[in-house]
Amino acid sequence: MTGGPVTGHPDRLDGPAVRVARLAGHGLRGAGAADVPAAVGHLLAVQAQEFRASLWGLASRCGPGGGPVPTAAEALRAFDAGEVLRTHVLRPTWHLVLPDDVRGLLELSAPRVHRAASGMYRQEGLDERTRGRAAEALATAAAGAPVTRAEAAQVLASGGFPSSGNALTYLLMSAELDRAIVSGPVRGRRHTYAPFDERVPPAPGSAGAGESLGLTRAADERVDVPGRARDRALTKVARRYLAARGPATAKDLATWSGFTLTEVRRALAALAEHGAAAARPGAGVLDGLELWTAAPSRQAGPGRASRREVPVVDLLQGYDEYVVSYTQSRGVVLEGLGAAPGDRPGTALALESRAAVDGVGPYLHAVTVDGIVVGRWKTTVSARELVVDAQWYRAPSGSVRAALAAEVDRMAAHHGLAGALR
């Protein structure tokens, strides 16, 4: 049950092979992205309710060979300039996305997110007309200058709309989904909202659903899928997902994207028909799963050392895409941490791993060694120092502690502080 090398089955993917591929695909190994916007573009959408932690997660993917990373100030400047945007998309949570991608992603996913929120809309008395009028009021108010959440609440109150509690939260989210407002620059420590059309390029021509998505990137081969515009766009989403996150199952992709399993399977079949993706059986802890990879698959380049040399530690923020991009196969990041004989492989991984992977309390974030979650961490920040406090699932070796200290220094440098390990 530890997913070691599998002989006689060259097409099967075991845990170590999947982790190597995912670490490279996520940009956690290899040359790294040029900057934070490039890292966002590669990942397509990055979960970001913990905003500043998400900026660290992106910056950590930019340092070639584990070297210096973009500073927090540099990452924030890119966000303030609108090179990266934050909005509700794909699922009912915030994501960081590029301006070129956000319009099409919302075209594809906003109807589903609205349906997911429909119960709360009814509970708060927010019918479609009310939400539409509120969105117009918010966009008009933000046109003069971006507004904070508190200022948005005042705008809504003056217009006779609900302006506090869940009603405020859902009116703001609905306005984001309807492309009335989107993130503006941070003012002090407060986020702002700006008119969507001021921050996002216009859709080209009379494009249909998802056609403005810009999902065919220069590094990808073009995949022309016949049929409806929505199907073509979903296929591009699937390819972008696999290029950054494969190998992964159809269920992994469906949960991450918010689209139905039927839609996802249709998109994967279209990619396979065009030679742009392939399915391979899992082995070891992944036995019984069908894992999809993009073709050609992304390979790890020269960068941070491999497991066979010295251990590599990553300090992943609690909602890092390396963890949250998967459900059915996410337990591969816990392989070797004491699974009992007879534990079910494959479909049981998601349930067996949730308690260990999901952060609790202040220890929200994950410590990984060579892609395996081995502990949790939190930080204490003073004017001059960033201190990382780690809780371990297994006692770390001296080489692991040395690798962790090096990663703490990288994180501290990102924040312009000295680093220390408790």
Q: What is the mean pLDDT of the chain?
A: 86
In the predicted model, is pLDDT for residue 346 greater than 70? no
| pLDDT at site 8 | 41
| pLDDT at site 358 | 54
| pLDDT at site 364 | 83
CB atoms within 10 A of CB 70: 24
Q: What percent of the chain has pLDDT over 90?
A: 74
| pLDDT at site 218 | 43
Identical topology for domains 15-27+216-294 and 82-199: yes
Give pLDDT tens digits for 257-276.
999 999 999 999 999 999 99
Taking the domains of the chain in order of start, what are their residue ranges? 15-27+216-294, 82-199, 313-421
| pLDDT at site 357 | 53
CATH class of 15-27+216-294: mainly alpha
Diameter of the chain by CA atoms?
70
| pLDDT at site 209 | 47
In the predicted model, is pLDDT for residue 4 greater than 60? no
In the predicted model, is pLDDT for residue 10 greater than 50? yes
Confidence tier at 246 by pLDDT (50, 70, 90):
very high
Lowest-confidence range among 124-133, 178-187, 336-345, 371-380?
336-345
H or E stretch at 194: strand 192-195
Give pLDDT tens digits for 49-101.
999 999 999 999 997 666 789 999 999 999 999 999 999 999 999 999 999 99
Q: Residue type at 155?
A: V
More confident residue, 381 or 11: 381
What distance in Å separates the CA atoms of residue 294 and residue 271, rounded to the nearest whole number? Answer: 9
Which tokens belong to 166?
A: 């869940």
Give pLDDT tens digits for 364-416.
899 999 999 999 999 999 999 999 999 998 899 999 999 999 999 999 999 99
* Three-state secondary structure readout of 40-51: HHHHCCEECCCH
Lowest-confidence range among 28-32, 33-37, 89-93?
28-32
Q: Residue 311: which residues within 8 A CB-CB, separation 6 or more?
A: 369, 370, 397, 399, 400, 403
Confidence tier at 296 by pLDDT (50, 70, 90):
low
Give pLDDT tens digits for 63-72.
766 678 999 9
In degrees, to the nearest 5, what angle opens at C-alpha 155 toward C-alphas 154 and 159?
110
Instruction: Give DSSP secondary structure letters for 122-191.
Output: HHTT--HHHHHHHHHHHHHHHHHS-EEHHHHHHHHHHTT---SHHHHHHHHHHHHHTTSEEE---BTTB-
Measured CA to CA in angstroms, residue 328 lies from 108, 251, 353, 418, 420 at distances of: 23, 6, 10, 39, 36
Q: Which CATH number does the domain 82-199 belong to among 1.10.10, 2.30.30, 1.10.287, 1.10.1760? A: 1.10.10
Average pLDDT over residues 168-184: 98
